[in-house]
Chain A
Amino acid sequence: MTVDKVIVTNRSALQSKYSTGLQRIDEALRNLIAADKKRGVTTLLVAIDSATDMKAVKGSAVTQPKDERKVKAAIDAVYTAYTPDYLMVLGAPDVVPMQTLRNPARGDGDDKVPSDLPYACSAPYSTQPSAFLGPTRVVGRLPDLVGGSDPAYLVGLLGTAARYRTRASDEYQHYFGLSAQVWQASTALSLSNIFGNSSAMHTTPPGGPRWPDAQLALRAHFINCHGAPSAPEYYGQPPGKEEYPVAHEAKRLKRKVSNGTVIAAECCYGAQLYDPKDSGGQAGICSTYLADGAYGFFGSTTIAYGPSEGNGQADLICQFFLDAVLAGASLGRAALEARQRFAALYTHLDPTDLKTLAQFYLLGDPSIHPVASVPHALSRTKTFKSAFKQAKTTPGARAFRRERLARTGTNLQQSLGAAKPSRARSPAYVSRVLNAAAKESRITEIGRQSYTVSFPRDASAGGMKRFAATRRARSVYALLGERTTADKVKRVVMLVATVQDGAIVHMRRVHSR
């Protein structure tokens, strides 16, 4: 049997949360599988805690739901056996855990980075984010509520996925764009890149959090605000002030979100799944969007990064996601393409790039196509229609796309370098330059960090041989400092020097946002 889509979950974990309510979830799953079948998608439900299901894929059943190593191995076994075009993780992290990765941007306040990126990669279990540079799988997570006991939430999300419909692209051209005022230039650039204009952008302050219903009802949302752990709000900020007014609130989204809405949120912790009990019973913004009929939410589990001006890190990966959705990709393919496009921008990923790749993920059924792609003219001819009856072109074309994505991800895994923490002190000539740059920029030093850049063993073969020697001697040194702006607000600045072959080959100044 050819399987197009696999739903992986842990039934015993669901059972312990919902007891007899699991029957309602089972019914909703049957409805989704039936709806998928009508769309020509063969879907299989696999319980990673089932000995029978796991024996069928030559894997081991997960006996402890939180055993991340076993869960990763189980999902890899499922993927290898069925090679589905879509892999949907069903449940919040207390059903199917995220993989806990080490934080490559150490010192930023996050101990670890919970991540679904490893499920999108064929590389085996690791806690090192640099082990997962080449995602090849189309993956999304349809979550329930952390700590939940009422199946209604998950049943609702499964119903939304079962009843989804693809809409014309013009229904996604009018957007709700929201930015912290301090980042409006960067957000405007992002919106222009995605939608061709930024004229509809809102900022906090002065706006928010009472957005007009007509704005919230738009189907494409792009949000660049502050966020915090276990918080059901996003926050704005005026330039040059330590003020953080509420920009967006989960409680104001109920019955305001249109069916089919797709959201990309750059915010720190913007897509964190937390127990609503931690915030007075209010689920997070991402969970609330999905409950209200949104199809997909792309966001971060932890503290995110972006440059003070222009675009970088979180700006880019969110843009790439919405770009692909608007072009007609499934939500899962859009998430994979966003990861791949982001990683492919660089020769090697520095610590904040690496964290960006690991922390952003898709909430939603990955097989949903929110936006119709524009068919080529040939597909409207009689000959074409006759030759490809029963919509057989769709899976065929999808197979080519999956092949391309697998090739791209494999190439990234085999060729991309990543910065790894090092205890080495920066060479004297690097220290002199960093010190001088800090002095010129009136930066008071807080600390220094060193990294070595390592590449996969085969990354310097063939045409890449000529770079092998310089790559071996590539390091990154960062000076973290503080600078007081003209309006007397302290800002942290990071001076980053990339050293290669005994010389500084690149320097940049990364401002906090």
Chain B
Amino acid sequence: MSFLGQVVRKRVSVGSKSEHEALVLITASGDEYKLRRQGGNPFRDPELDGLEGKRIECEGIVRDGQLIMSRWSVLS
């Protein structure tokens, strides 16, 4: 599936054992997905840090609120 949206950093899984800061994609319709790279560390992946604040287009699968990306590109 393809997704388009703005990447922001925010705290997720709030109050739980695994609460942490993560990059989250916010789509135009307001849906939010925690971003993760296929094969990457789901909690902190330096390869994705550069996406913060960017508008991206990506492909991937959604599992339990996480968007596991197989490909992405920065639009602006």
Contact = CB atoms under 8 A, between A and B. Distances in A.
Nearest to B32: A109
B21 A303 contact: no
Chain A facing B: main interface SS: loop
B44 A108 contact: no
Contact of A268 (B16, B36, B38, B63): B16
Band of interface residues on B: 20 to 34
A280 interface: yes
B68 A230 contact: yes
A446 B61 CA distance: 29
Interface string A220-244: 0000001111110001010000111
Given A243-B44, A278-B61, A303 B18 contact: yes
B28 interface: no
Contact of A231 (B17, B20, B42): B42
B15 A510 contact: yes
B5 to A, nearest CB: 17
A455 to B, nearest CB: 25
Contacts of A306: 17
Band of interface residues on A: 35 or more
B20 A480 contact: no
A244 B13 contact: no
A492 interface: yes
B13 A446 contact: no
A314 interface: yes
B17 A268 contact: yes
A304 B17 contact: yes
A491 B18 CA distance: 11
Interface string B20-51: 11000000000000101011011110000000
B17 A490 contact: no
A200 to B, nearest CB: 22
B44 A512 contact: no
Contacts of A213: none
Given A110-B64, A243-B44, A446 B14 contact: yes
Given A226-B43, A235-B41, A269-B64, A512 B14 contact: yes
Given A235-B41, A243-B44, A244-B44, A109 B17 contact: no
Nearest to B17: A513
Contact of B63 (A230, A305, A482, A492): A230
A212 interface: no
A108 B20 CA distance: 11
Nearest to B42: A228
B39 A280 contact: yes
Given A228-B66, A230-B68, A278-B63, A513 B43 contact: no
A308 B25 CA distance: 29
A110 B43 CA distance: 16
A492 B66 contact: no
Given A229-B66, A280-B39, A482 B11 contact: yes
- Choose among B11, B16, B17, B38 the residue with the greatest number of A CB atoms under 10 Å from its CB: B17
Nearest to A351: B15
Contacts of B53: none
Given A228-B66, A229-B63, A242-B44, A109 B38 contact: no
A304 B16 CA distance: 6
A302 B21 CA distance: 18
Given A303-B16, A305-B15, A494-B15, A111 B65 contact: yes
Contacts of B12: 109
A229 B17 contact: no
A314 B17 contact: yes
A108 B15 contact: yes
A302 B18 CA distance: 11
Contact of A109 (B34, B43, B63): B34
B21 A490 contact: yes
A269 B14 CA distance: 15
A512 B19 contact: yes
Given A110-B64, A228-B42, A235-B41, A242 B13 contact: no
A265 B68 CA distance: 24
Contacts of B36: 228
A354 to B, nearest CB: 14
A109 B66 CA distance: 9
Contacts of A304: 16-18
Contact of B15 (A227, A231, A492): A492
A109 B65 contact: yes
Contacts of A108: 13-16
Contacts of B44: 242-244
Contact of B17 (A107, A242, A266, A494): A266
Contacts of A107: 14
16 contacts: A105-B15, A109-B12, A110-B64, A183-B17, A227-B18, A228-B43, A229-B65, A244-B20, A244-B41, A268-B16, A268-B17, A269-B64, A446-B14, A490-B21, A491-B19, A513-B17
Listed from nearest, the 7 A-B pairs whose CB atoms lie closest are A244-B43, A228-B42, A229-B64, A512-B19, A268-B18, A513-B17, A303-B16
Given A272-B64, A492-B19, A513-B17, 15 more contacts: A109-B64, A226-B18, A228-B18, A229-B65, A244-B20, A244-B41, A244-B43, A246-B41, A268-B17, A269-B64, A280-B38, A302-B64, A303-B18, A480-B15, A510-B15
